[in-house]
């Protein structure tokens, strides 16, 4: 009998983080994929990842609307509570043999708590990593609730085991997002102009045949009141540089409203005239855009994870990725417009594109499916040390 694997996707980056594992689970003879899409992954203002997921051929078994408007600390907590109640019902209906929770977003803890209290074996992907904010607390809480750990790096494996988790329940698989990065790196040259034109965006058209920059900056949950000012500082730097830029919209975290207002205010005042803004792209399309760029600016984990593998230079701004393993492609700066601009100028003029295999070799999806098909699933045995 096939094992039913319920994967919960709660945000647009979570899909990229797990896509190749979903493909491998779906193709595995011993597994049945159950896909639940929830939270900001359903919302148009954050790119509506659901549309991308379905367009790429996945069947979605359930959707869970759980986001409370406001993008602040109170609504984040309330959204988590709603998610816990709704996901418990979903798991009761689907009756999975295991639930897969991804990374560290606040919505993920709802899936983890529901599965744990329902005695459903919980699998956590991307445990053991350090990021230095509330996300890190959520990630480690997911780890302690989980029964099986799919870690992406050697340092993460060590941390999970030091947290008291059994070594025979910790599997170093690498990250599925690196599988997509490998595909983007090995792909035949693509028509980038046609690729970008396939997505609805706003702002000045950018000639992708010429050098361009990618910006992706999210609010920092522990500094959410500073989100507007911090985003405005990055805007000052990018506006002063005047280079062609593709700017991707911030995520749903507390402070998102402030970050979004900073961007809208700049555009309304005629700034960032050289930038084009997007909400979302299919993961492989986004990575194709990245690998052909001069580099990325902001505080997204993609700059430290996929870009390390791709050799894409990155200017990491602020504290959001504090403590996360990083490669030689990354330069860290504070929220200072001149410091950001100086780092981008150096990146723009450099031909160096160092690569590091920190988060995997590009074959994680298959490894994950094999683990899920063979790992022990008895909760009683898992709790016996």
DSSP-assigned states of every residue in 67-95: PPTT-SHHHHHHHHHHHHHHHHHHHHHH-
Distant-in-sequence, close-in-space partners of 86: CB < 8 Å, separation ≥ 6: 38, 64, 65, 66
Band (211; pLDDT cuts 50, 70, 90): very high
Q: Say which DSSP state 216 is in.
A: E
- pLDDT at position 385: 47
Q: What percent of the chain stands above pLDDT 90?
A: 86
**Residues paired with residue 281 on neighbouring β-strands, in sequence order:** none
pLDDT digits (tens, 9 = 90+) for 141-199: 999 999 999 999 999 999 999 999 999 999 999 999 999 999 999 999 999 999 999 99
Burial letters for 324-338: b for 16+ Cβ neighbours within 10 Å, e otherwise?
Answer: bbbbebbbebebbbe
Question: What pLDDT does residue 156 have?
Answer: 97
* Mean pLDDT, the chain, integer: 94
Q: Which domains does the chain have, with CATH numbers?
A: 3-175+360-382 (3.40.50.2000), 183-349 (3.40.50.2000)
DSSP 250-279: P-SSTTHHHHHHHHHHHHHTT--TTEEEES
pLDDT at residue 134 tops 50:
yes
As a whole number of Å, the end-to-end CA separation of the chain is: 28
CA angle 36, 179, 156 (to 5 degrees): 80
Q: Residue 149's pLDDT is what?
A: 98
What three-state secondary structure class fits 133?
Answer: coil
What is the C-alpha to C-alpha distance for residues 168 and 371, in angstroms, rounded to an integer? Answer: 11
Q: Is the pLDDT of residue 28 over 70?
A: yes
pLDDT tens digits for range 330-384: 999 999 999 999 999 999 999 999 999 999 999 999 999 999 999 998 755 555 5
Contact yes or no for 314/293 (Cβ under 8 A): no
Q: What is the pLDDT of residue 232?
A: 98
The structure's pTM equals 0.91
Query: How far apart are alpha carbons 14 and 183 in whole angstroms?
Result: 18
**Tens-place pLDDT, residues 231-259:** 999 999 999 999 999 999 998 888 899 99
Average pLDDT over every residue of 282-301: 96
Mean pLDDT lowest for which of 66-75, 156-165, 280-289? 66-75
């Amino acid at each position: 009998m096939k094992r039913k694997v319920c994967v919960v996707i709660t945000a647009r980056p979570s899909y990229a983080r797990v896509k190749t594992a979903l493909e491998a689970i779906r193709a595995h003879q011993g597994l049945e994929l159950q896909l639940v899409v929830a939270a900001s992954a359903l919302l148009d203002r954050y790119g509506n990842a659901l549309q991308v997921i379905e367009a790429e051929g996945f069947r979605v078994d359930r959707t869970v609307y759980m986001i409370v408007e406001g993008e602040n600390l109170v609504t984040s907590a309330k959204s988590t509570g709603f998610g816990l109640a709704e996901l418990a019902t979903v798991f009761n209906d689907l009756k999975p043999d295991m639930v897969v929770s991804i990374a560290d977003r606040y919505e993920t803890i709802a899936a983890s708590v529901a599965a744990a209290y329902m005695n459903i074996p919980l699998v956590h992907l991307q445990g053991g990593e350090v990021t230095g904010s509330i996300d890190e607390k959520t990630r480690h809480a997911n780890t302690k609730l989980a029964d099986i750990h799919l870690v992406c790096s050697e340092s993460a494996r060590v941390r999970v085991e030091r947290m008291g988790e059994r070594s025979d329940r910790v599997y170093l698989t690498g990250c599925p997002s690196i599988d997509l990065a490998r595909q983007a790196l090995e792909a035949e040259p693509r028509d980038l102009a046609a690729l970008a034109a396939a997505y609805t965006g706003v702002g000045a058209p950018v000639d992708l045949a010429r050098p361009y920059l990618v910006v992706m900056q999210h609010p920092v949950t522990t500094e959410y009141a500073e989100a507007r000012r911090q985003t405005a500082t990055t805007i000052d730097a990018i506006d002063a540089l005047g280079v062609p830029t593709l700017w991707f919209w911030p995520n749903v975290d507390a402070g998102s409203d402030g970050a979004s207002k900073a961007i809208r205010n700049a555009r309304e005042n005629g700034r960032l005239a050289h930038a084009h803004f997007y909400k979302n792209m299919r993961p492989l399309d986004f990575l194709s855009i990245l690998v052909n760029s001069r580099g990325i600016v902001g505080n997204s984990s993609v700059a430290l994870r996929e870009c390390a593998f791709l050799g894409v230079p990155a200017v990491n701004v602020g504290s959001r990725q504090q403590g996360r393993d990083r490669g030689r492609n990354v330069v860290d700066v504070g929220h200072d417009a001149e410091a950001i601009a100086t780092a981008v100028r150096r990146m723009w003029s450099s031909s160096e594109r160092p690569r590091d295999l920190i988060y995997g070799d590009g074959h994680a999806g298959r490894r994950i499916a094999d683990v899920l098909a063979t790992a022990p699933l008895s909760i009683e045995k898992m709790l016996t040390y």
